[in-house]
Amino acid sequence: MTSEARNGDNLHCLVGPELFRFESFQQWVNKAASWFATCGYPSRHAICVDAKGRICQYGKHFMTARDEDAFPVRVCMAREDDMPNSTLQGSPEAQRKEIP
């Protein structure tokens, strides 16, 4: 079966545990590099989702989130089975989250 996404479709995805969140655009500017560097998970695999459910991949996306009052932006692991180390696996933070 083939599925085709169209503009405006609602798509719900399961992602791994939340690593951290940016409460504001300024916090993203000030902390993104250090938080990604120390979270133990490759930033290129993280999924960032704004408060309106949109993926944020680039600076422009974060600026749109700022301009449209769509913070906080949550940073999640791409998958729950993609754990950076064994210490997270048994923790409550390792529970699967659904991004609505």
- Give 12's pLDDT tier (boundaries 50, 70, 90): confident
H or E stretch covering 73: strand 73-76
**Per-domain boundaries in the chain:** 21-81
Give residue 26's pLDDT. Answer: 98
The CA angle 73-75-76, to the nearest 5 degrees, is: 140
Give residue 13's pLDDT. Answer: 85
pLDDT of 27-71, one tens digit each? 999 999 999 999 999 999 999 999 999 999 999 999 999 999 999
Output 11 or 39, whichever has higher pLDDT: 39
Give residue 94's pLDDT. Answer: 42
CA atoms within 13 A on the CB side of 100: 2
What predicted TM-score, i.e. pTM, was given to this entire model?
0.74
pLDDT of 86-99, one tens digit each? 444 444 444 444 55
